[in-house]
Structure 1
Amino acid sequence: MVSLKDIAKACQVSVATVSKALNDHNDISAETKERIRQVAKDMGYFPNSAAKALKTNRTYNIGVLFVDEARSGLTHNYFSHVLDSFKQTAEQQGYDMTFINCCKTRPNRMTYLEHARYRGFDGVVIACIDFNDPEVIELVKSNIPVVTIDHLFHNRIAIMSDNAKGMEDLFSYVYERGHRKIAYIHGADSAVTQSRLSTFYRMAEQKGLSIPDAYIKEAAYRNADEAYERTRELLALEDRPTCILYQDDFASFGGIKAIRQAGLKIPQDISVAGYDGIRIAYQLEPQLTTLKQDTDSIGRLAAEQLISLIEEPKTTLIRPYIVEGYVEKGQSVRDINHT
């Protein structure tokens, strides 16, 4: 391993001069800095991360706590794009990312907080997990800087997709196209689900619609099999809906399968709409109508605010940030106003 002493010898300067040059001190000329840095690079020198951490009290490493019910991991269509945006922004500011081990069946495992402290994370981003888990709450209440995605804790920064506005816009679009018999297959109970479902009912009330209990079904997020079964139940109703809203785009694929197996066409016989705006939804025929979430902004904001909290804790404002999406109209919701 190349040391500062080796570089000093090669450059015929003192170790102190090498250190000042590599740390961009003002009392070293730009020419000397450039020469020393080039020699260090040519010799394959990299600063010792442990020594750097002792000096700066930072590891430049951010922990990621991420688990979803479907165990889809980084194939999760929505959160994979959020985390990719987070990663790009964090790396541009010199930070690495490490996933916190979430395997609770492993013997002698550490809690989330213990793992975060063991790794010396400067901060942690938390996404897509059971936010009521005592270990999650313990981590959030610790002195480690934390930013959550799509969940709000008291006195913590949260980056939230505007689920109420998203459902409001999606419902309004379907209504404007003449649909009055609107069903909703929502996800499992969570803050996101509660926001969307309450908005669904509020919009129906504002439009003067009475939603039968049979029109409201539950299926886990990203579970196409459950969405398939719930769709079959809706299609079997004597007075079936003209449009079905799904909890997410991925789950809607199961519903679309059930509709086609029943010999029905989309949108001629029945309309469907998803939520998220994942890329594969754009490849469907007909293209899926959906609420496109701004995953780039969500990930970027989460990284920017967490790094601000790490580097400027006294001046960083602790508050939720709300990110709006928009309706991707697609072709899966028929206009039935003139039929």
Structure 2
Amino acid sequence: MVSLKDIAKECGVSTATVSKALNGQHDIGEETKARVRETAERMGYFPNAAARALKTNRSYNVGVLFQEEAGSGLTHEYFSGVLNGIKVQVEKMGYDVTFINNSYGVKKTSFFEHCRYRNFEGIVIVCADFASQGVLELMNSAFPVVTIDYTHYNCTAVCSNNVKGMEELLKYIYKKGHRKIAYIHGQKNSNVTRERLTSFYRTMEELHIKVNEDYIREAAYLETKGAAEQTEILLDMDDPPTCILYPDDTSLIGGKNVIMERGMHIPEDVSIAGYDGTRISQLSHPRITTIRQDTEEIGREAARRLIDAIEKPRTTLIERVVIEGTLITGQSVGELPENNIQKDDE
């Protein structure tokens, strides 16, 4: 491994001069700085992280909290996209990423204590129980924190545009002639659910469609079982919906299986739509109508905002940053014949 001493010998200067040149200090001439840096690069010098941490009192390490209940973990396309966006951007800006946990081996501790132990410079909370004491302690701490799809007064939040996404999806379904629209939404304690559900009611009102409250059901995100059960209930109604919206593309699979098991066809007998725009939704037959979330950009923007807060705390505001999604029309929402369209004022 190339050391400062090796570079100093090659350049004919002291190790102190090499150190100052590589750290950009002003008492070294520009010509010397350029020569030292060129030599360091040519010789393959790489600074020792531990030495840099001791010298600067900085770890250049950010923590990522990721705890999702469905058990999909890093295999889920939405979260893997966000996490990859964070990783790529953080590394590009000269930082490392470490996952946060609440234990040292067998010893249990809090998320906050783990962050202090690891000397993290900042934290991104990708998925967690935001109402839990451990997560609240983290968000209320002095650590710079960026949250994904959750708004907290002390943290910058990076969110997908759930309001606009739901509005675009509903208006597309409306243009296809559907008026009897069911919505199986995610858990009500979720900020994402609240935004999408509010947008659903608001858009239905704008379109002059009376909401049938029996069509509004709840099932967990990323789980097929609950969505399947709610689909059974909707299809067994005397006046079933012509289109069913699901919490996400993964839970939609549960509903789709129920429809197919009944010998029904999509979209001829019933239309369906998801959310997230996962790859599997577009490999499915028929291709799913959904909203694609720009997960990589959500992750990259979260990383940029966090490192701004770390490096420029005096000029960084706590903000809510919204990332736009894209409507994918797919093939799973069919067009109703004119005589099957319920009049808006009925």
Runs of 4+ in 1 over 3 A off after TM superposition: 9-12, 24-46
Structure 2: gaps (5+ residues):
340-346
Q: Distance in 2 between matches of 1:257 and 1:224?
A: 9
CA RMSD in angstroms, aligned pairs only: 2.2
Structure 1: gaps (5+ residues):
none
Identity rate of aligned residues, in percent?
Answer: 54
Query: Which shifted more, 123-132 or 232-241?
Result: 232-241
Contact 2:187–2:219 (CA under 8 A) maintained in structure 1: yes
Find the counterpart in structure 1 of residue 63 from structure 2: 63
Find the counterpart in structure 2 of residue 248 from structure 1: 248
Contact 1:155–1:319 (CA under 8 A) maintained in structure 2: no
Gap change, CA 1:332 and 1:123, over 3 Å in 2:
same
Kindly report which structure 2 residues correspond to 1:60-99, keeping only aligned pairs within 5 A, or say none: 60-99=60-99
SS of the aligned residue for 1:287 comes to coil
Q: Distance in 2 between matches of 1:146 and 1:156?
A: 5
2:255 is matched by which residue type in structure 1?
Answer: G
- List per-residue Cα deviations over 1:251-280 (Å, max 9, x = no partner): 111111111111011111110000011111
1:141 is matched by which residue type in structure 2?
Answer: N
Find the counterpart in structure 2 of residue 322 from structure 1: 322
TM-score normalised according to structure 2 size? 0.90
Find the counterpart in structure 1 of residue 49 from structure 2: 49
Contact 1:157–1:319 (CA under 8 A) maintained in structure 2: yes
2:196 is matched by which residue type in structure 1?
Answer: R
Contact 2:102–2:114 (CA under 8 A) maintained in structure 1: no
Find the counterpart in structure 2 of residue 160 from structure 1: 159
1:113 is matched by which residue type in structure 2?
Answer: F
Find the counterpart in structure 1 of residue 342 from structure 2: none
Query: Which shifted more, 191-200 or 116-125?
Result: 191-200
Contact 1:147–1:158 (CA under 8 A) maintained in structure 2: yes
Contact 1:243–1:270 (CA under 8 A) maintained in structure 2: yes
Cα distance, 1:329 vs. partner?
Answer: 0.7
- List per-residue Cα deviations over 1:86-135 (Å, max 9, x = no partner): 2111111111110001579x742221111111111110001111100111
Q: Distance in 2 between matches of 1:316 and 1:24?
A: 24
Alignment pair present for 1:146 and 2:136:
no
Find the counterpart in structure 1 of residue 343 from structure 2: none
Q: Distance in 1 between matches of 2:326 and 2:39?
A: 52
Find the counterpart in structure 1 of residue 168 from structure 2: 169
TM-score normalised according to structure 1 size? 0.92
Gap change, CA 1:123 and 1:233, over 3 Å in 2:
same
Q: Distance in 2 between matches of 1:10 and 1:168?
A: 65
Q: Distance in 2 between matches of 1:245 and 1:280?
A: 17
2:191 is matched by which residue type in structure 1?
Answer: A
SS of the aligned residue for 2:178 comes to coil
Find the counterpart in structure 2 of residue 183 from structure 1: 182
Alignment length (residue pairs): 338
Q: Distance in 2 between matches of 1:76 and 1:67?
A: 12
Find the counterpart in structure 2 of residue 216 from structure 1: 216
Gap change, CA 1:326 and 1:103, over 3 Å in 2:
farther
